[in-house]
């Protein structure tokens, strides 16, 4: 089993967080009424799901954009829809485009028309991009950020990138193809590769490759005292290998995603979330970023149950409802009014 650097108390919280956050997901699937946890931090602040594919935007991408009823599974079409959606990463933007232009299609949808719609949204004070992560504007000679991104997508299609992606030999090879384009840095290239891998045009194991984002790097710095002795990606892969032992040694229930274990993309994501979680539970552990506040509150008034999930059919998951026990939590006091 892969070894790890010396750990801190935050590393224990990493596994506790993962187990309880997944339990919350299953509880929301079975009940429309909360609260779904007794953990005061998880009840007060927003954290993404443990498995990336279960998050709201990923679910919309998979169920509606990639595999939706009647959607063409031709390689250029799937690539075009996936990238157009993920560039903006905002469900409302996609819905607005389809409301104005009809079903999005590479063969029928003109990017110039997409640009006009987004101009209207922008000019009327609407949001085009998600705030999930920073989307730098590629230098493509356009006046507006979204216009530059559409020009970038046009270049990808002209370069026959969909066919190159579909014929790539590994997830890393897809990552490198995406990384060649302006405005697509290492973090975005990896995220796009994972998103494309949900679709029918690719079928690589998520074990194959991982790239640590800025949030994950901060979380890793809080979990280990001498983390610089190993690469961040090496640590993530070691954590993936050790997951059964780590949950078991702590007596934590973890059923996986309907039996699917954590993948490197998921463990990378948990490191990002534990970076935030530790700001409330372990405030003295400043990590590499030094940030001490959590930005997003959890609005219990808007919380509701979850619809039945949809995952890539190639995963072969059979949905079932585990019985997840409720755990009482005794955590240090933290400031509920923290905000950035």
pLDDT tens digit string along 167-200?
999 999 999 999 999 999 999 999 999 999 999 9
Strand partners, 297: 45
pLDDT given at position 173: 98
Give the pLDDT confidence score for residue 211 in this predicted structure: 96
**What pLDDT score does 230 carry?**
82
Which residues in the chain show pLDDT less than 50? 335-340
Phi, psi (5° rounding) for residue 246?
-65, -45
Q: How far is CA 12 from the centre of its chain?
A: 22
pLDDT at 69: 87
> Quick check: 211 and 233 in contact, CB under 8 A?
yes
pLDDT of residue 256: 96
Instruction: Output DSSP code: residue 64.
Output: I
pLDDT at 336: 42
* Helix, strand, coil in percent for the chain, rounding step 5: 50, 0, 45
What pLDDT was estimated at residue 229? Answer: 64
Distance CA 91, CA 85 (A): 8
Task: Give the model's pLDDT for residue 340.
Answer: 35
Tell me how far the alpha carbon of residue 49 is from its chain's centroid.
8
CA distance 88 to 94: 8
Per-residue confidence (pLDDT) for residue 288, from 0 to 100: 82
Rounded Cα distance between 5 and 1, Å, is 13
CA-CA distance, 194 to 205, in Å (whole number)?
A: 10
The reported pLDDT for the residue numbered 297 is 77
């Amino acid at each position: 089993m892969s070894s790890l650097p010396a750990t801190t108390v935050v590393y224990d919280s990493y596994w506790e967080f993962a187990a309880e956050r997944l339990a919350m997901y299953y509880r929301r699937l079975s009940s429309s009424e909360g609260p779904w946890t007794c953990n005061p931090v998880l009840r007060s602040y927003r954290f993404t799901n443990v498995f990336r594919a279960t998050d709201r935007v990923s679910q919309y991408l998979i169920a509606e954009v990639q595999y939706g009823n009647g959607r063409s599974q031709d390689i250029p079409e799937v690539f075009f829809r996936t990238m157009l959606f993920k560039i903006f990463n905002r469900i409302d933007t996609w819905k607005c485009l389809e409301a104005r232009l009809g079903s999005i299609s590479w063969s029928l949808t003109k990017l110039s028309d997409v640009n006009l719609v987004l101009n209207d949204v922008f000019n009327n004070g609407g949001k085009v991009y998600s705030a999930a992560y920073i989307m730098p504007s590629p230098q493509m000679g356009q006046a507006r950020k979204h216009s530059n991104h559409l020009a970038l997508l046009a270049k990808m299609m002209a370069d026959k990138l969909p066919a190159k992606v579909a014929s790539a030999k590994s997830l890393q090879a897809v990552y490198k193809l995406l990384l060649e384009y302006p405005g697509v840095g290492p973090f975005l290239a990896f995220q796009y590769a994972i998103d494309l891998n949900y679709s029918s045009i690719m079928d690589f194991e998520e074990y194959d490759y991982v790239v640590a984002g800025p949030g994950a790097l901060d979380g890793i710095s809080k979990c280990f005292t001498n983390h610089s002795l190993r690469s961040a990606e090496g640590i993530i892969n070691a954590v993936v290998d050790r997951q059964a032992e780590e949950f078991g040694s702590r007596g934590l229930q973890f059923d996986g995603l309907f039996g699917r274990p954590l993948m490197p993309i998921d463990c990378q994501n948990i490191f990002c979330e534990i970076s935030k979680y530790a700001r409330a539970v372990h405030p003295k552990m400043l990590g590499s970023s030094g940030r001490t506040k959590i930005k997003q509150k959890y609005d219990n008034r808007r919380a509701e149950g979850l619809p039945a999930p949809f995952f890539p059919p190639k995963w072969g998951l059979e949905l079932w409802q585990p019985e997840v026990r409720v755990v009482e939590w005794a955590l240090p006091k933290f400031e509920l009014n923290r905000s950035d």
